[in-house]
């Protein structure tokens, strides 16, 4: 049985370190895991007036989340919190009231930043939101990666063995978590 993972990257930047990081993690997961990188940049700003008439991009986004067996959030930290573009996607997926796409999905959060705390505060805020949305987030290991030049290339190849081993430990725990909690 394969597992489809919807990957949400909290940066729209072309050269995003977090996108590289997400690619690297996807390479470390078992062969029966399939990845769908979900484009959250196409979503308009959430507006409750549209709850009764969702725009096509938001309908498609919700379908992608609903079709996924699991979620992987890889996000930068913006001003000690979650980037607005990711919060916007979380809000779209949660509406209309009673029809959230998020509930019950197994998930993990990760992030990288050139700063020393490696997105720790953004991840805490994200965990708070996901708890409310009833997403089953892996508790440990937490993963705070300080990004340095050459650490991960554009194709998600990891530049040193220690980092690869550290990330492999996370990927193994995440894979086990998804197998345990996946509804299918
Ligand atoms: C940042 N950055 C940042 N870094 C951090 O460690 N803590 C923070 O609170 C912030 N705040 C912040 C706000 C805004 C608006 C920007 C644009 C940037 C720096 C951030 O970690 C850096 O730009 C990363 O490269 C962003 O991730 P991606 O786009 O490379 O994935």
Is the pTM for the entire model greater than 0.95?
A: yes
CA of residue 51 to ligand 1 center, whole Å: 31
User: Is a pLDDT exceeding 90 seen at residue 4?
Assistant: yes
pLDDT digits (tens, 9 = 90+) for 159-178: 999 999 999 999 999 999 99
CA of residue 20 to ligand 1 center, whole Å: 15
The mean pLDDT value for 31-50 works out to: 97
User: Is a pLDDT exceeding 70 seen at residue 184?
Assistant: no
The preferred substitution site among 7, 18, 41, 77 for testing ligand 1, maximizing ligand atoms within 8 Å of CB, is 77
The mean pLDDT value for 4-9 works out to: 98
Protein residue with least CA distance to atom 27, ligand 1: 76
Classify domain 3-181 at the CATH superfamily level: Flavodoxin domain (3.40.50.360)
CA of residue 126 to ligand 1 center, whole Å: 15
Predicted local confidence at residue 130, as pLDDT: 98
CA of residue 115 to ligand 1 center, whole Å: 8
The mean pLDDT value for 59-63 works out to: 98
Q: Sorting pLDDT into bands at 50, 70 and 90, what band is 182?
A: confident
Structure-derived torsion over alpha carbons of residues 6, 70, 66, 1, reported in degrees to the nearest 10: 100
Q: Are 125 and 81 in contact (CB under 8 A)?
A: yes
Count the Cβ atoms, other than its own, within 10 Å of residue 48. 10
Residues 6+ apart with CB under 8 A from 21: 74, 110, 111, 112, 145, 147, 152, 156
Pocket of ligand 1 (CB under 6 A): 11, 13, 16-18, 76-80, 113-115
pLDDT digits (tens, 9 = 90+) for 72-88: 999 999 999 999 999 99
Question: pLDDT > 70: what percent of the chain?
Answer: 99
Domain boundaries, the chain: 3-181
User: Is a pLDDT exceeding 70 seen at residue 12?
Assistant: yes
User: Is a pLDDT exceeding 90 seen at residue 32?
Assistant: yes
The residue assigned the tokens 């290991």 is: 141
H-state helical runs in 68-160: 84-93, 120-132
Predicted local confidence at residue 118, as pLDDT: 83
Protein residue with least CA distance to atom 16, ligand 1: 78
Q: Sorting pLDDT into bands at 50, 70 and 90, what band is 183?
A: low
Query: Which ligand 1 atom minimizes the distance to the CA of 116?
Result: 6
Mean pLDDT of the chain: 96
Within the chain, strands assigned E span 3-9, 33-38, 70-74, 106-113, 136-137, 144-146
CA of residue 177 to ligand 1 center, whole Å: 29
pLDDT digits (tens, 9 = 90+) for 91-137: 999 999 999 999 999 999 999 999 988 899 999 999 999 999 999 99
Query: Which ligand 1 atom minimizes the distance to the CA of 113?
Result: 21
Query: Which ligand 1 atom minimizes the distance to the CA of 12?
Result: 29
122: left (phi over 0), alpha (psi -120 to 50) or beta: alpha
What ipTM, to 2 d.p.? 0.99
């Amino acid at each position: 049985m394969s597992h489809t993972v919807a990957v949400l990257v909290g940066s729209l930047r072309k050269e995003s370190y977090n996108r590289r990081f997400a690619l690297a993690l996807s390479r470390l997961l078992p062969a029966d895991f399939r990845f769908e990188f979900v484009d959250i940049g196409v979503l308009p700003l959430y507006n409750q007036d549209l709850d009764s008439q969702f725009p096509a991009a938001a309908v498609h986004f919700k379908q992608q989340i609903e079709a996924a067996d699991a979620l992987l959030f890889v996000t930068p930290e913006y001003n000690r919190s979650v980037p607005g573009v990711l919060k916007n996607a979380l809000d779209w997926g949660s509406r209309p009231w009673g029809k959230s796409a998020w509930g019950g999905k197994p998930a993990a959060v990760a992030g990288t930043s050139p700063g020393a705390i490696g997105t720790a505060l953004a991840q805490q805020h994200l965990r708070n939101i996901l708890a409310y949305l009833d997403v089953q987030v892996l508790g440990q290991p937490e993963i705070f990666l300080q990004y340095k030049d050459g650490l991960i290339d554009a194709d998600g190849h990891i530049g040193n063995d220690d980092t690869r081993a550290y990330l492999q430990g996370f990927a193994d725990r995440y894979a086990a978590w998804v197998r345990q909690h996946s509804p299918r």
